[in-house]
Each structure stands twice: as structure tokens, then as C-alpha cells.
Structure 1
């Protein structure tokens, strides 16, 4: 006897997603290039010329990744004008948790006071925040979530060989977050389609090596790849959002290297982006914070009055994997 076909109930679906608020957190300790020169063979001038960094923030041993993530997440929730009880999903993009289990997201949600959310971590390294915003947007459009807290958080200082001058000068600690909510109408949509991908044939370019348990990076390989591949990805994200390069007010790429940031911005302007397009340069005083770098840069630019409500932001993350992702968003 055949069984009657069942019909499952569907949940209401939002037309899209929008950003509601931002927040960030950094350690108090500032480490300058001169400080690092006391340990490794380098100079302030050498670091500035090579990667554009003047100083970075490094957490002490008692400050956990989840501490910074919770602080950034709490600030984003407050900025969004919602309460922790409104958040139903917490997503933490990170590649530097000290242990794989337990995940960061559930711990962070508990610290913030978000009760019983869907909670998971996402590891796409420096592209992680853009991956997270894309996943949050899709969850909302599918009806699986209504309000998602997306956090990029890294404590890279735990994964550095402090005697390797090629990496210890670059990476730093911090967290940045955004609250993503449902758009009520198509006119309210503030998160564009995600353009993403990977180049697994270059996966060895950034990796953890033994016995130091430190990050190793093939700097020239990454530099050549980023300066040739990222601009086309950014332009695709603009096109997928139904916009033109001249519509972008602020370009916020992953803060990997100031020379990469400037090279990609130059290519975007050649493709039609405005001369007055603002470009994030948070790496100068924050260093490379991997998945945290984009939300940190946005929040710092907002605080400085360089980003205003309604501005069109182009976000592009790229890094270990090699993974990349980008989308256009509207600042709340």
C-alpha cells in the first residue's frame, strides 16, 4: 500500500537582508615596529615600506579570542538598536581558536546573553567575514534565521613564530562584528549577492608549520595573486549587486598589506570607480587581523566620520585557502 505524499510547511521568506549595526574590539597593548626590532632583524622603515604597518594591537595571554569577540558582538548589538534576545543566530568567522572544540560561537553567545541561538564557527581565514555576511544573508532569505550576529575574531599572536620577521611584523589581534537582519521590502535590501571562490592549488602559500606551530606565508606568491585576482572579484560583486563601479562610496578590502590595498584600489578606479572613493587603510595602525580586518576597518572609519549612513561599501576578503569573497553592502 503506497503512502500518501506529505506536504511540509514552509516558513516566511524575507526578500533579502540588510545590515543593522557594527561593533569592534581591540586589545589595549600597542606594539610598534621599533618594539619588534628589539627581537627580530627589522626596522620601522623596512616594515612601513614592505607592508605599510606602523603599529598593531597584541592581546595579553589572559585575553581570549572569545573575550574580544563577545565585546565586539555586544557593541554591534547595541549599535543595531536590538537586544540579545532578538538575535537567533551567532556566527563567528575565525581561524585561530586554541582548540577546535568547543566552538567560539556558542561561548560568545552565552557571554553576550543570547539565549539558545543557532551557533557555529566558519573558517575561511581572511575571507571569513565576507563568507559570514553571505551565509547570514542566505539564512535570512531562506527563512532559517531572522537576526544574525556575524563576528570576525582572531588572536593571531597565539599562532606566530615571534622569531620569524616575515610574519611577526604583519599579524595582530582583534574582533569586529555586524548584525544582519531581514529586509522588509526589496527597496530595503542592503546586502548584495556574494561572489566567492578559492584557489586550492595555492593552499600551501599560507599555512601552519611545525615545530613552531606558527603561520608561514609565501609573501610574494600571495602578493602577486592578490594584486591580479582581487580587482576582478570586486568588480563582479559590484555587477552582481546591479551597480556600477562609480556607485561605490567606500572600498573596504581585507587589510593584508597596504601595497595590495592601494594596487587593487588603483585597478578599480581604472575600471570606473570614482577618484573620491574612500579606501580603508586600517592596516596602518591595526595590522593584519585576518577575518576581523574588514569589520574593524568599517567600524573605525565610521567612528572617524569617514563612513556615513547610506554609503555603499564594497567588501572583499581574501587569504589562506586561498579563499576569497566579496559583496556590496549599504551602511546602516
Structure 2
């Protein structure tokens, strides 16, 4: 195949962007607390009491990061009534690719049948999907893109030491995707993002031959003491009071952490995503997976204001209020 570059297409800038659809991919293999806990000498009840997880999904041999991402993206496009030919940008949020290059987004695009589309990866770990959504919003509003696929996909089990009780009982695999298109009204509000590199070692993979390490208690304290203000700022940027949120979808790291954030923010009247119970911690995939589940369960309706927030290794965080598709 020969490539012939064409003149750049500049689309009209729009007042806003919106999520047209979201979708998920959950691997077939369901792994219980008993299956994981017995070899580690801990009970199923201990795992659930500690982090809120009852079961999680592990990728199969054929479930690559780009492959899972492409499955979720294809479903999202179908739900939006669009096809691969409509897409001009693919952003993949992931921290679990097996090698530094090629980037996973290009492989997602190729699997969808759009091999020459603009494509790049974002590695902000568990905050990655919200980072990527903020980037897509800006590119669509500027007219650079007319239809962006934002994908969060992870094979965290490739990077976990199965003998480490602190990580082996938590991390899992999966993918979620969102289709972002122009809108006359704001459907994706400004992202509030940042990071604290001085604490970066709290969650890390020291080198490509290592497994993920995590100082769970320190991360818990960081999230519960510092990130409520990030959520408040995201609501303020959207002009939405926390009590008026209809959905509260954070990174699915720990059930007690999620419920603490919702309570301290004052969003307890919202539908709170508790996808971690059945899905575990899927890093950059967790926010779109959790959002899709709330929609599929009928707990969110089109037009509802929903707070999305990711946080994790970096230490990175990002939050924005979106209109439910």
C-alpha cells in the first residue's frame, strides 16, 4: 500500500463537543477472590473487605491492548450510528502496552480499518482516559478533528506479580471507548488536571523487567485528602453544583475510596459507579467501563450531568463534567 498525503482538512471550529456514545469490552474469563486468594493465603472475604472487589476479568491469550480497545471502539461507533470512515483521530489511554512502540492507537485504528488516521497514545495511568477525553475535546472544538475515538484499554495482569497480595488481588483487564463529536452546546466541560511527580514512586513499574509496585495506604491518603477539591473545581468549571450531579464516575481503585469521595463532595444523590465490585481495577479503562455499566443499567439517562475523575500513577489526576450520551 502506498501512501499519498492529501491537503490538510480544517473543519469549522465549534462551540463545544459531546460524547456521542460509549461502549465496553470485558474479557470472558471471570476470576473470583477465592481463586486469587487461596494461593496467597488470604480469604475471599478479606479481599472484598479491603478493596471492595468480588471478582474481576482477566484477558485471554488473544486479548491484546489494541484488540480490546478496537472491540470497545467498534461498539461505540455502532451505538453512535457512525463507522470507521467517519473517524479522523484515535487516542488510546494505556499504561500496559508490552513495548514502547509502535503506539497502540495506530493498531486500534488499523484493526478498525482506518490505518492512516491520526493516532497516538496517552500514558497518565489511571487518569489516562480523562486526560485523553480532555485532549479530544480541545481538538474537536478547534476544528482539527470532526470525530475522535477516545479509548482506555489495559492488560494490567501482564505487569502484576501474582505472588504480591497488594497488587495481584486488585488489578484486572478490559477496555472502554467514547466517540467525541462537535456540538453547538458544551457536552464536555473543561478538564481539571495535574500531577505530583514528587509522589510518583507510590505507584510505579520501575523498569520493563519489573512488576507494578504500589504503596496503597499512601495513595489512599492522597486521594481522600487532596482530590475532593479537584472534583469541586471540575463542577465549578461546568457550573454544576455537586448535589445536582446525576452520575459520579471515578477511577475504580477502591470501593471505600469511591464512597468517601462521593460523600465528602456531596454527590451522594448521584448514581455512584461501583464497577470495581465486578471488574476490579483496570487503570485507564476503569472510567469508561464504569460509565458504560451505569448507562446499561439504566441508572443514567441521556443529558444527565456526570462527573468523571481519574487518578493514579504519576501521581496524575484529571476530572471533568460531561453530558451523558
* Length-normalised TM-score, structure 2: 0.95
Distance 1:251 1:10 in 2: 35
Q: What is the aligned length?
A: 317
Residue 226 (1) aligns with residue 223 (2): yes
Q: Deviations over 1:47-100 (max 9, x none)?
A: 111100000000123321111111001001111111111110000000000011
Report the 3-state secondary structure (helix = DSSP H, G, I; strand = E; otherwise coil) of the residue aligned with 2:40. coil
Contact 1:93 1:152 in 2 (8 A): yes
Consecutive unaligned residues in structure 1, runs of 5 or more: 1-8
Distance 1:22 1:190 in 2: 14
Q: Cα 1:177–1:197, aligned 2, differ >3 Å: closer, same or farther? A: same
Consecutive unaligned residues in structure 2, runs of 5 or more: 1-8
Which range is displaced more, 14-23 or 59-68? 59-68
Where in structure 1 do 4 or more consecutive aligned residues deviate above 3 Å?
209-212
Q: Cα 1:320–1:167, aligned 2, differ >3 Å: closer, same or farther? A: same
Distance 1:88 1:48 in 2: 42
2:300 to 291, 298, 307: 307
Distance 2:289 2:208 in 1: 31
Q: Deviations over 1:155-184 (max 9, x none)?
A: 00100000001000000000000000001x
Shift of 1:12: 2.3
Q: Deviations over 1:87-131 (max 9, x none)?
A: 100000000000111111111111112252110000000000000
C-alpha RMSD of matched pairs (Å):
1.4
Report the 3-state secondary structure (helix = DSSP H, G, I; strand = E; otherwise coil) of the residue aligned with 2:82. coil
Distance 1:10 1:69 in 2: 27
Greater gyration radius: 1
The residue number in structure 1 matching 2:236 is 239
Report the 3-state secondary structure (helix = DSSP H, G, I; strand = E; otherwise coil) of the residue aligned with 1:192. coil
The residue number in structure 2 matching 1:84 is 84
Distance 1:90 1:156 in 2: 21
Shift of 1:213: 1.7
Report the 3-state secondary structure (helix = DSSP H, G, I; strand = E; otherwise coil) of the residue aligned with 1:243. coil
1:282 to 275, 283, 290: 275
Distance 2:208 2:97 in 1: 18
The residue number in structure 1 matching 2:192 is 195
Contact 2:11 2:145 in 1 (8 A): no
* Length-normalised TM-score, structure 1: 0.93
Contact 1:85 1:115 in 2 (8 A): no
Distance 2:314 2:58 in 1: 24
Report the 3-state secondary structure (helix = DSSP H, G, I; strand = E; otherwise coil) of the residue aligned with 1:204. helix
Report the 3-state secondary structure (helix = DSSP H, G, I; strand = E; otherwise coil) of the residue aligned with 1:39. helix
Contact 1:167 1:215 in 2 (8 A): yes
Shift of 1:11: 5.3
The residue number in structure 1 matching 2:18 is 18
The residue number in structure 2 matching 1:62 is 62
Shift of 1:10: 7.3
Q: Deviations over 1:231-265 (max 9, x none)?
A: 11001000011221122101000001001101101
Shift of 1:210: 6.2
Give the alignment of 1:90-105 within 5 angstroms: 90-105=90-105
Report the 3-state secondary structure (helix = DSSP H, G, I; strand = E; otherwise coil) of the residue aligned with 1:288. coil
